[in-house]
């Protein structure tokens, strides 16, 4: 069992491995440390097999880059803030933890 977050190098190895898997006709493994946008992009490739267009592979690389640079997490936090504001909850109150950070 792994404790803590995977390193950037572990994430890169996991992404490369899962990408190879989906391009070979297998699905996306769980517990890889990859975030939801990256997993969703990989699942899109798996669903498009055997003729996954290059655009889907490029989208998976972009999603993974967003995981590494924090863009995906920032978008998730912005969406949660928007949802909380839409409900009329006071800002600065209790917020949900980002998936994988609690």
Summarised one tens digit per residue, pLDDT across range 45-77 is 999 988 899 999 999 999 999 999 999 999 999
Of all helices (H) and strands (E), which one includes residue 61? helix 54-69
Q: Is 87 helix (H, G, I), strand (E, B) or coil?
A: coil
Give the whole-number percent of the chain exceeding pLDDT 70: 84
33: Cβ contacts below 8 Å, ≥ 6 apart: 5, 6, 10, 11, 14, 100
> Looking at per-residue confidence, does 68 or 89 come out higher?
68
Question: What count of other Cβ atoms lies within 10 Å of the Cβ of residue 57?
Answer: 18
pLDDT at 30: 87
């Amino acid at each position: 069992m792994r404790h803590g977050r995977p390193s950037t190098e572990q994430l890169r190895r996991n992404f490369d491995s899962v990408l190879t898997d989906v391009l070979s006709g297998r699905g996306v493994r769980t517990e890889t440390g990859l975030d939801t946008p990256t997993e969703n992009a990989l699942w899109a490739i798996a669903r498009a097999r055997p003729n996954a267009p290059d655009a889907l592979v490029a989208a998976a690389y972009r999603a993974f880059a967003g995981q590494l640079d924090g863009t995906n997490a920032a978008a998730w936090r912005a969406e949660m803030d928007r949802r909380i504001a839409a409900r009329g909850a006071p800002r600065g109150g209790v917020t949900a933890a980002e998936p994988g950070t609690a």
